[in-house]
Structure 1
């Protein structure tokens, strides 16, 4: 039986790394920049890194669309960061500042923030608007991702 290998984009440089599924939890590092692929925090993404990290790879990606002036976004931010330590390495968590990268907010039709969008293989599979606690984020993400 052959071990399944996953393609995991680096949240720092965007390089796609091939990681044996059994090694996901053993702190794999990027073959190019040598930084850890999973750090237990949500990766901030600009437009270029979004294309590499959120739209490619074999892991589901949970994106928090937010803005610095948004009080509910600020209130949810620590819970989203803590959710990353629970959901990684089976799911990548990322943040997109809709003020800094408005084209992504427009592309995904973000009408209110915070909005969480779950992507699988670059396709949106679920969306939830409004602030949530860490437990709610984890439960919602797992339910939407299928486990």
Structure 2
């Protein structure tokens, strides 16, 4: 299984049975599948989405957004629950306007689920961890 490092963009090969063993990047030694969401930028998002075989769930948010801030702990909790199965990531829409425009983001928070580099599901609005987990389970089955 290939996983792109969110820090340096390097593609790493990780055997599926070793995903739970906290694999690290061969180039920069950062954890590839951390228990906390990784931060994506305009510069790294294409590498991560295009070269990661795990599903990638992105929370598009902004620091001034109240619902975004209230959902953040729930998103982090779900990241721990799904560690090794789904890569959780955050994208600040204000700091990354190219990606926000490319994705057609109209409201925040917005969750976008990517599988094989393609968006397969999207949900706008804040959710609790149980709601997010249920939505993700359903989106992955579709």
* TM-score interval, smaller chain: over 0.9
d(CA) in 2 for partners of 1:143, 1:7: 24
Counterpart of 1:64 (choices 55, 59, 64) is 59
SS at match of 2:51: coil
Q: Normalised by the size of structure 2, how large is the TM-score?
A: 0.95
Counterpart of 2:87 (choices 70, 82, 92) is 92
d(CA) in 1 for partners of 2:49, 2:136: 15
Give the superposed CA RMSD.
Answer: 1.2
d(CA) in 2 for partners of 1:143, 1:54: 21
Instruction: Verify: 1:120 aligned to 2:115, yes or no.
Output: yes
Where structure 2 has 5 or more consecutive residues not aligned to the other structure, the ranges are none
Q: Normalised by the size of structure 1, how large is the TM-score?
A: 0.92
Number of equivalences: 142
Runs of 4 or more consecutive aligned structure 1 residues displaced over 3 Å after TM superposition: none
Query: How big is the shift at 1:55?
Result: 2.9
Where structure 1 has 5 or more consecutive residues not aligned to the other structure, the ranges are 1-5
Query: How big is the shift at 1:138?
Result: 1.5
Other-structure match for 2:139 = 144
Other-structure match for 1:22 = 17
Query: How big is the shift at 1:62?
Result: 0.3
